[in-house]
Structure 1
Amino acid sequence: MSELTHIDPAGNARMVEVSDKPVSRREAVAEGFIAMSAEALRKVVERSSKKGDVLAVAQLAGIGGAKQTGNLIPLCHPIPLTGVTVELEV
């Protein structure tokens, strides 16, 4: 298992030491799909949901998720972000 950086020789999970790594430019892309009823889709498009603007909330949630990546993904280092863009298509 030594080829896996987050697994030690005994097979235990560990967080990799990264303090000596040089700063580098990184980019990540994520994609997802949501299935919903025609009525729900109509409300999203017309922005007539009782919960408010569903797409605006989804964008804010996506940005919040990106900011919390280090807390949400085990063994992920908290890497400073310089920008987050969330694009939605209906």
Structure 2
Amino acid sequence: MTKLTHLDDQGHAHMVDVSDKAITVREARAYAEVVMLPETLQMITSGGHKKGDVLAVARIAGIQAAKRTSELIPLCHPLMLTKVSVELEPDVEKSAICITTLCRLSGQTGVEMEALTAATVAALTLYDMCKAVDKGMVITQVKVLEKKGGKSGHWIIEG
């Protein structure tokens, strides 16, 4: 089994030293779904929510969250992201909003946590804006879809 990189030889948590790592283009994509009542999905997609454009607010929240990941996750490095995108797609069959994020940079450490943070905060924002009309929404399927760059190379989720 691979050793946990955020623990030193005594088992104490520490931030990993990436000084000797090569600077490479690194990219990660993540995903989350917010499952809701069909009426809630219709309200969002028709623009009928009294709070305004729910999808636009969730997109901005996700972008902001990616930029602030190191403030939220204690051992994450502060990163100079060069791209963050948050796509929100309604899925009528699932009665859900499907969120896909992409984070990219040229640096010494990966951006999986930034992509995951963007996806989850976008999902939380959707929940927050719609909880008054649908308390039973479920945030699900949070996962990394793909990562590129660095020593471990290219990885894509199976299935």
TM-score by structure 2 length? 0.53
* Equivalent-residue separation in structure 1 for 2:11 and 2:48 (angstroms): 52
* Equivalent-residue separation in structure 2 for 1:32 and 1:49 (angstroms): 22
Output aligned runs, 1:1-90, within 5 Å.
3-90=3-90
Q: Which is bigger in relative contact order (C-alpha 8 A, separation at least 6)? A: 2
Letter in 2 for 1:31: Y
SS at match of 2:35: coil
Higher strand share: 2
Gap runs ≥5 in structure 2:
91-159
Letter in 1 for 2:56: A
TM-score by structure 1 length? 0.89
> Whose Rg is larger?
1
What value does the CA root-mean-square deviation take over the aligned residues? 1.4
* Equivalent-residue separation in structure 1 for 2:8 and 2:53 (angstroms): 47
Shift of 1:81: 0.5
Cα-to-partner distance string for 1:6-49 (whole Å, 9 max, x where unaligned): 10111111111123323211101110000111221111010110
User: What is the total number of aligned residue pairs between the two structures?
Assistant: 89
Stretches of 4+ aligned residues off by more than 6 angstroms: none
Gap runs ≥5 in structure 1:
none
Paired-residue identity, % = 54
